[in-house]
Structure 1
Amino acid sequence: MAISPPTPIRILIIDDHAILSTRLRMLIESQPGMAVVGLAANAPDALAAATRERPDIILLDLDLGGQSALDFLPELAAAAPNARVLILTGVLDPDLHRRAVRMGAMGLVLKERAAEVLMQAIEKVHAGKVWLERSAGRQRAGADDVRRPGAAG
Protein backbone atom coordinates (compact mmCIF):
# COMPACT_ATOMS: atom_id res chain seq x y z
CA MET A 1 0.00 0.00 0.00
CA ALA A 2 1.52 3.30 -1.12
CA ILE A 3 1.71 6.19 1.29
CA SER A 4 0.33 9.35 -0.23
CA PRO A 5 2.39 12.52 0.18
CA PRO A 6 1.16 15.05 2.73
CA THR A 7 -1.24 17.69 1.50
CA PRO A 8 0.70 20.86 0.67
CA ILE A 9 0.14 24.11 2.55
CA ARG A 10 -2.21 26.08 0.29
CA ILE A 11 -1.16 29.74 0.10
CA LEU A 12 -2.96 32.78 -1.30
CA ILE A 13 -0.67 35.76 -2.04
CA ILE A 14 -2.22 39.22 -1.81
CA ASP A 15 0.14 41.97 -2.93
CA ASP A 16 -0.31 44.84 -5.39
CA HIS A 17 3.19 44.50 -6.85
CA ALA A 18 3.03 41.98 -9.72
CA ILE A 19 6.77 41.33 -9.82
CA LEU A 20 6.89 40.61 -6.10
CA SER A 21 3.84 38.33 -6.27
CA THR A 22 5.36 36.38 -9.15
CA ARG A 23 8.69 36.01 -7.36
CA LEU A 24 6.94 34.95 -4.16
CA ARG A 25 4.99 32.34 -6.11
CA MET A 26 8.22 30.97 -7.61
CA LEU A 27 9.91 30.89 -4.21
CA ILE A 28 7.00 29.21 -2.42
CA GLU A 29 6.39 26.65 -5.14
CA SER A 30 10.08 25.67 -5.03
CA GLN A 31 9.53 24.50 -1.46
CA PRO A 32 8.37 20.95 -0.79
CA GLY A 33 4.96 20.88 0.86
CA MET A 34 3.82 24.34 -0.27
CA ALA A 35 1.58 25.43 -3.14
CA VAL A 36 0.31 28.83 -4.25
CA VAL A 37 -3.42 28.59 -4.98
CA GLY A 38 -3.95 32.19 -6.08
CA LEU A 39 -2.70 35.73 -6.50
CA ALA A 40 -4.65 38.91 -5.85
CA ALA A 41 -3.72 42.59 -5.97
CA ASN A 42 -6.75 44.30 -4.42
CA ALA A 43 -9.58 43.74 -1.94
CA PRO A 44 -12.29 42.48 -4.36
CA ASP A 45 -9.93 40.00 -6.02
CA ALA A 46 -8.57 38.90 -2.63
CA LEU A 47 -12.03 38.23 -1.23
CA ALA A 48 -13.05 36.30 -4.35
CA ALA A 49 -9.86 34.22 -4.32
CA ALA A 50 -10.14 33.49 -0.59
CA THR A 51 -13.73 32.30 -1.04
CA ARG A 52 -12.94 30.23 -4.12
CA GLU A 53 -9.59 28.70 -3.11
CA ARG A 54 -10.00 28.16 0.65
CA PRO A 55 -6.29 28.67 1.41
CA ASP A 56 -4.54 27.50 4.56
CA ILE A 57 -2.37 30.63 4.66
CA ILE A 58 -3.12 34.11 3.35
CA LEU A 59 0.11 36.01 2.74
CA LEU A 60 -1.09 39.62 2.94
CA ASP A 61 0.67 42.90 2.17
CA LEU A 62 -0.54 45.70 4.46
CA ASP A 63 -0.43 48.40 1.78
CA LEU A 64 -2.33 47.53 -1.38
CA GLY A 65 -1.80 50.52 -3.61
CA GLY A 66 -2.97 53.07 -1.10
CA GLN A 67 -5.60 50.85 0.53
CA SER A 68 -4.82 49.36 3.91
CA ALA A 69 -5.40 45.62 3.99
CA LEU A 70 -6.68 46.10 7.52
CA ASP A 71 -9.75 47.78 6.03
CA PHE A 72 -10.95 44.41 4.73
CA LEU A 73 -9.18 41.94 7.03
CA PRO A 74 -12.43 40.98 8.85
CA GLU A 75 -14.13 40.27 5.51
CA LEU A 76 -11.11 38.28 4.37
CA ALA A 77 -11.21 36.18 7.55
CA ALA A 78 -14.92 35.54 6.99
CA ALA A 79 -14.32 34.57 3.35
CA ALA A 80 -11.74 31.93 4.36
CA PRO A 81 -12.53 31.09 8.00
CA ASN A 82 -9.95 28.29 8.25
CA ALA A 83 -7.11 30.35 6.80
CA ARG A 84 -4.42 31.91 8.92
CA VAL A 85 -3.24 35.38 7.92
CA LEU A 86 0.47 36.11 7.72
CA ILE A 87 1.35 39.74 7.06
CA LEU A 88 4.26 40.39 4.69
CA THR A 89 5.06 44.08 4.77
CA GLY A 90 7.60 46.77 4.10
CA VAL A 91 5.72 49.12 6.43
CA LEU A 92 7.79 49.73 9.56
CA ASP A 93 5.00 51.06 11.77
CA PRO A 94 4.77 49.13 15.08
CA ASP A 95 1.30 50.57 15.78
CA LEU A 96 0.05 49.20 12.47
CA HIS A 97 1.68 45.84 13.23
CA ARG A 98 -0.06 45.68 16.63
CA ARG A 99 -3.37 46.56 15.01
CA ALA A 100 -2.96 43.77 12.43
CA VAL A 101 -2.35 41.22 15.18
CA ARG A 102 -5.29 42.48 17.22
CA MET A 103 -7.46 42.07 14.12
CA GLY A 104 -6.47 38.43 13.79
CA ALA A 105 -3.20 38.17 11.87
CA MET A 106 -1.19 35.21 13.17
CA GLY A 107 2.15 36.58 12.11
CA LEU A 108 4.17 39.33 10.55
CA VAL A 109 7.31 39.20 8.39
CA LEU A 110 9.14 42.25 7.12
CA LYS A 111 9.87 42.24 3.38
CA GLU A 112 13.51 43.02 4.09
CA ARG A 113 13.99 39.58 5.67
CA ALA A 114 15.57 36.56 3.99
CA ALA A 115 13.41 34.08 2.10
CA GLU A 116 14.21 31.40 4.69
CA VAL A 117 12.56 33.52 7.38
CA LEU A 118 9.36 33.76 5.35
CA MET A 119 9.32 29.98 4.78
CA GLN A 120 9.78 29.36 8.52
CA ALA A 121 7.00 31.82 9.30
CA ILE A 122 4.61 30.10 6.87
CA GLU A 123 5.31 26.72 8.47
CA LYS A 124 4.93 28.01 12.03
CA VAL A 125 1.73 29.93 11.33
CA HIS A 126 0.31 26.93 9.49
CA ALA A 127 1.05 24.88 12.62
CA GLY A 128 -1.01 27.35 14.66
CA LYS A 129 1.86 29.30 16.18
CA VAL A 130 2.23 33.07 16.22
CA TRP A 131 5.21 34.48 14.28
CA LEU A 132 6.27 38.02 15.11
CA GLU A 133 9.42 39.77 13.98
CA ARG A 134 11.70 41.03 16.71
CA SER A 135 12.84 43.75 14.33
CA ALA A 136 9.24 44.85 13.83
CA GLY A 137 9.49 47.05 16.87
CA ARG A 138 10.67 44.53 19.52
CA GLN A 139 7.29 45.21 21.10
CA ARG A 140 6.11 41.83 19.81
CA ALA A 141 3.56 43.71 17.69
CA GLY A 142 1.16 43.90 20.62
CA ALA A 143 0.97 40.14 21.11
CA ASP A 144 0.26 40.66 24.80
CA ASP A 145 -2.85 42.63 23.84
CA VAL A 146 -4.23 39.99 21.49
CA ARG A 147 -7.48 38.39 22.52
CA ARG A 148 -7.86 34.89 21.25
CA PRO A 149 -11.35 33.58 20.49
CA GLY A 150 -12.81 32.07 23.63
CA ALA A 151 -10.45 33.89 25.98
CA ALA A 152 -11.95 35.16 29.21
CA GLY A 153 -12.14 38.86 29.85
Structure 2
Amino acid sequence: MIRLLLAEDQTMMRGALAVLLGLEPDLEVVDQVADGRDVLPHALRSQPDVALLDIELPGRSGLDAAEDLARELPACRVLIVTTFARPGYVQRAMAAGASGFVVKDDPAEHLAATVRHVAGGGTAIDATLARRALREAASPLTDRERSVLTTAEDGATIADIAERMHLSKSTVRNYLSSAIGKTGTRNKVEAAHLARRNGWL
Protein backbone atom coordinates (compact mmCIF):
# COMPACT_ATOMS: atom_id res chain seq x y z
CA MET A 1 0.00 0.00 0.00
CA ILE A 2 1.36 3.44 -0.99
CA ARG A 3 0.69 6.00 1.76
CA LEU A 4 -0.15 9.54 0.59
CA LEU A 5 -0.23 13.01 2.10
CA LEU A 6 -2.29 15.66 0.27
CA ALA A 7 -1.49 19.37 0.60
CA GLU A 8 -4.17 21.48 -1.11
CA ASP A 9 -5.82 24.61 0.26
CA GLN A 10 -9.07 24.31 -1.73
CA THR A 11 -11.30 22.03 0.31
CA MET A 12 -13.34 20.69 -2.61
CA MET A 13 -10.25 19.94 -4.69
CA ARG A 14 -8.53 18.25 -1.75
CA GLY A 15 -11.61 16.17 -1.04
CA ALA A 16 -11.98 15.17 -4.70
CA LEU A 17 -8.33 14.12 -4.91
CA ALA A 18 -8.65 12.12 -1.71
CA VAL A 19 -11.72 10.27 -3.02
CA LEU A 20 -10.26 9.58 -6.47
CA LEU A 21 -6.93 8.35 -5.16
CA GLY A 22 -8.62 6.40 -2.36
CA LEU A 23 -10.54 4.37 -4.95
CA GLU A 24 -7.26 2.86 -6.13
CA PRO A 25 -6.65 -0.50 -4.40
CA ASP A 26 -2.97 0.19 -3.70
CA LEU A 27 -3.20 3.86 -2.64
CA GLU A 28 -4.18 5.18 0.80
CA VAL A 29 -4.54 8.85 1.76
CA VAL A 30 -3.21 8.94 5.32
CA ASP A 31 -3.06 12.71 5.88
CA GLN A 32 -4.39 15.98 4.45
CA VAL A 33 -3.34 19.59 5.06
CA ALA A 34 -4.47 22.98 3.76
CA ASP A 35 -1.49 25.11 4.84
CA GLY A 36 2.10 24.77 3.66
CA ARG A 37 3.39 25.20 7.20
CA ASP A 38 1.63 21.98 8.19
CA VAL A 39 3.26 19.77 5.55
CA LEU A 40 6.45 18.86 7.40
CA PRO A 41 5.01 18.29 10.90
CA HIS A 42 2.16 16.19 9.49
CA ALA A 43 4.51 14.22 7.26
CA LEU A 44 6.84 13.50 10.17
CA ARG A 45 3.86 12.16 12.09
CA SER A 46 2.09 10.18 9.32
CA GLN A 47 5.23 9.04 7.40
CA PRO A 48 3.74 9.06 3.87
CA ASP A 49 5.51 7.43 0.94
CA VAL A 50 4.48 10.27 -1.39
CA ALA A 51 3.43 13.85 -0.65
CA LEU A 52 1.24 15.51 -3.28
CA LEU A 53 1.79 19.26 -2.92
CA ASP A 54 0.01 22.20 -4.51
CA ILE A 55 2.34 25.15 -5.18
CA GLU A 56 0.12 28.03 -4.08
CA LEU A 57 -0.43 27.09 -0.44
CA PRO A 58 -1.01 29.63 2.32
CA GLY A 59 1.73 30.00 4.90
CA ARG A 60 4.47 28.24 2.96
CA SER A 61 4.54 27.34 -0.74
CA GLY A 62 4.56 23.77 -1.94
CA LEU A 63 8.05 24.38 -3.35
CA ASP A 64 9.33 25.44 0.07
CA ALA A 65 7.55 22.48 1.67
CA ALA A 66 9.25 20.18 -0.87
CA GLU A 67 12.63 21.50 0.31
CA ASP A 68 11.62 20.85 3.92
CA LEU A 69 10.69 17.25 3.11
CA ALA A 70 13.86 16.63 1.09
CA ARG A 71 15.90 17.79 4.08
CA GLU A 72 13.93 16.29 6.98
CA LEU A 73 12.15 13.27 5.48
CA PRO A 74 14.10 12.18 2.38
CA ALA A 75 12.29 8.83 2.17
CA CYS A 76 9.08 10.70 1.29
CA ARG A 77 8.83 11.34 -2.45
CA VAL A 78 7.28 14.64 -3.55
CA LEU A 79 4.87 15.10 -6.44
CA ILE A 80 3.85 18.67 -7.30
CA VAL A 81 0.22 18.78 -8.47
CA THR A 82 -0.77 22.27 -9.64
CA THR A 83 -2.86 24.38 -11.99
CA PHE A 84 0.16 26.62 -12.55
CA ALA A 85 1.92 25.04 -15.52
CA ARG A 86 4.92 27.37 -15.56
CA PRO A 87 8.38 26.23 -16.67
CA GLY A 88 10.03 28.23 -13.90
CA TYR A 89 8.02 26.25 -11.37
CA VAL A 90 9.22 22.98 -12.89
CA GLN A 91 12.83 24.11 -12.54
CA ARG A 92 12.30 25.21 -8.95
CA ALA A 93 10.39 22.03 -8.07
CA MET A 94 13.20 19.81 -9.32
CA ALA A 95 15.80 21.95 -7.55
CA ALA A 96 13.73 21.59 -4.35
CA GLY A 97 13.94 17.81 -4.56
CA ALA A 98 10.55 16.99 -6.09
CA SER A 99 10.27 13.71 -8.02
CA GLY A 100 7.42 14.80 -10.24
CA PHE A 101 5.37 17.70 -11.54
CA VAL A 102 1.89 17.27 -13.03
CA VAL A 103 -1.02 19.60 -13.77
CA LYS A 104 -4.43 19.18 -12.15
CA ASP A 105 -6.37 18.80 -15.38
CA ASP A 106 -4.66 15.48 -16.15
CA PRO A 107 -7.00 12.44 -15.99
CA ALA A 108 -7.30 10.79 -12.55
CA GLU A 109 -5.89 7.50 -13.82
CA HIS A 110 -2.80 9.33 -15.06
CA LEU A 111 -2.29 10.89 -11.63
CA ALA A 112 -2.59 7.48 -9.94
CA ALA A 113 -0.09 5.99 -12.37
CA THR A 114 2.27 8.90 -11.75
CA VAL A 115 2.01 8.42 -7.98
CA ARG A 116 2.97 4.75 -8.39
CA HIS A 117 5.87 5.66 -10.68
CA VAL A 118 7.21 8.27 -8.24
CA ALA A 119 6.72 5.95 -5.25
CA GLY A 120 8.77 3.33 -7.08
CA GLY A 121 11.71 5.71 -7.40
CA GLY A 122 10.92 7.21 -10.80
CA THR A 123 10.68 10.82 -11.93
CA ALA A 124 7.64 12.19 -13.73
CA ILE A 125 7.35 15.57 -15.41
CA ASP A 126 4.68 16.68 -17.87
CA ALA A 127 6.44 16.36 -21.25
CA THR A 128 5.35 19.73 -22.64
CA LEU A 129 6.41 21.51 -19.48
CA ALA A 130 9.74 19.70 -19.45
CA ARG A 131 10.53 20.86 -22.98
CA ARG A 132 9.60 24.44 -22.14
CA ALA A 133 11.60 24.36 -18.91
CA LEU A 134 14.68 23.20 -20.78
CA ARG A 135 14.31 26.01 -23.32
CA GLU A 136 13.83 28.78 -20.80
CA ALA A 137 16.60 30.15 -18.65
CA ALA A 138 16.59 29.59 -14.93
CA SER A 139 15.60 32.52 -12.74
CA PRO A 140 18.16 35.34 -12.83
CA LEU A 141 17.01 36.56 -9.43
CA THR A 142 18.79 36.00 -6.14
CA ASP A 143 16.82 34.70 -3.16
CA ARG A 144 16.74 38.17 -1.59
CA GLU A 145 15.58 39.80 -4.84
CA ARG A 146 12.79 37.21 -5.06
CA SER A 147 11.74 37.95 -1.48
CA VAL A 148 11.66 41.70 -2.09
CA LEU A 149 9.66 41.30 -5.31
CA THR A 150 7.20 38.98 -3.59
CA THR A 151 6.65 41.63 -0.94
CA ALA A 152 6.27 44.28 -3.67
CA GLU A 153 3.60 42.36 -5.61
CA ASP A 154 0.66 44.03 -3.89
CA GLY A 155 2.00 47.51 -4.71
CA ALA A 156 3.70 48.04 -1.35
CA THR A 157 5.90 51.14 -1.06
CA ILE A 158 9.63 50.92 -0.47
CA ALA A 159 9.04 52.00 3.13
CA ASP A 160 6.44 49.23 3.58
CA ILE A 161 8.78 46.62 2.12
CA ALA A 162 11.67 47.81 4.29
CA GLU A 163 9.51 47.59 7.42
CA ARG A 164 8.09 44.14 6.58
CA MET A 165 11.50 42.69 5.73
CA HIS A 166 13.46 44.52 8.45
CA LEU A 167 15.76 46.12 5.87
CA SER A 168 16.82 49.71 5.23
CA LYS A 169 15.04 51.62 2.47
CA SER A 170 18.29 51.98 0.53
CA THR A 171 18.86 48.22 0.66
CA VAL A 172 15.33 47.60 -0.66
CA ARG A 173 15.94 50.13 -3.46
CA ASN A 174 19.14 48.31 -4.42
CA TYR A 175 17.43 44.91 -4.56
CA LEU A 176 14.50 46.29 -6.54
CA SER A 177 16.78 48.14 -8.96
CA SER A 178 18.74 44.95 -9.58
CA ALA A 179 15.57 42.88 -10.08
CA ILE A 180 14.07 45.46 -12.45
CA GLY A 181 17.29 45.45 -14.47
CA LYS A 182 17.45 41.67 -14.65
CA THR A 183 13.82 41.37 -15.74
CA GLY A 184 14.00 44.23 -18.26
CA THR A 185 10.92 45.88 -16.78
CA ARG A 186 10.12 49.51 -15.90
CA ASN A 187 9.16 49.29 -12.23
CA LYS A 188 8.85 46.97 -9.24
CA VAL A 189 5.24 45.94 -9.94
CA GLU A 190 6.03 44.98 -13.56
CA ALA A 191 9.11 43.09 -12.37
CA ALA A 192 7.07 41.21 -9.76
CA HIS A 193 4.35 40.31 -12.27
CA LEU A 194 6.85 39.10 -14.89
CA ALA A 195 8.71 37.05 -12.29
CA ARG A 196 5.42 35.53 -11.11
CA ARG A 197 4.39 34.63 -14.68
CA ASN A 198 7.74 32.92 -15.25
CA GLY A 199 7.44 30.94 -12.03
CA TRP A 200 10.39 32.66 -10.38
CA LEU A 201 8.43 33.72 -7.28
Name the TM-score, length of structure 2 as normaliser: 0.62
Could you list the per-position Cα deviations for residues 84-139 of structure 1 after superposition, in whole angstroms to 9, with x for gaps in the alignment? 00010100210111110121100011111111110110010011011010132524
Select the structure with the greater relative contact order (CA < 8 A; seq sep ≥ 6): 1
Quick one: which of 110, 126, 138 aligns to 2:103?
A: 110
Question: Higher helix fraction: Structure 1 or Structure 2?
Answer: 2
AA paired with 1:80? L
2: CA distance, partners of 1:135 / 1:11 = 26
> Which SS does the other structure have where 1:105 is aligned?
coil
Q: What does residue range 63-78 of structure 1 map to in structure 2 within 5 Å?
A: 63-65=56-58, 67-78=60-71
Report how far residue 140 of structure 1 moved: 6.1
> Which runs of 5 or more residues in structure 2 are unaligned?
139-201
AA paired with 2:113? Q
How many corresponding residue pairs? 136
Quick one: which of 90, 97, 101 aligns to 2:94?
A: 101
Report how far residue 66 of structure 1 moved: 7.6
2: CA distance, partners of 1:122 / 1:38 = 15
Equivalent pairs: percent with the same residue? 34
Runs (4+) of structure 1 exceeding 3 A deviation are 139-142
Of the structure 1 ranges 129-138 and 52-61, higher mean CA displacement relative to structure 2 is found in 129-138
Q: Are 1:128 and 2:121 an aligned pair?
A: yes
Question: Higher strand fraction: Structure 1 or Structure 2?
Answer: 1
> Which SS does the other structure have where 1:97 is aligned?
helix
AA paired with 1:128? G
Give the superposed CA RMSD. 2.0
Tell me the equivalent position of 1:4: none
> Which runs of 5 or more residues in structure 1 are unaligned?
1-7, 146-153
2: CA distance, partners of 1:68 / 1:61 = 8
2: CA distance, partners of 1:73 / 1:86 = 9
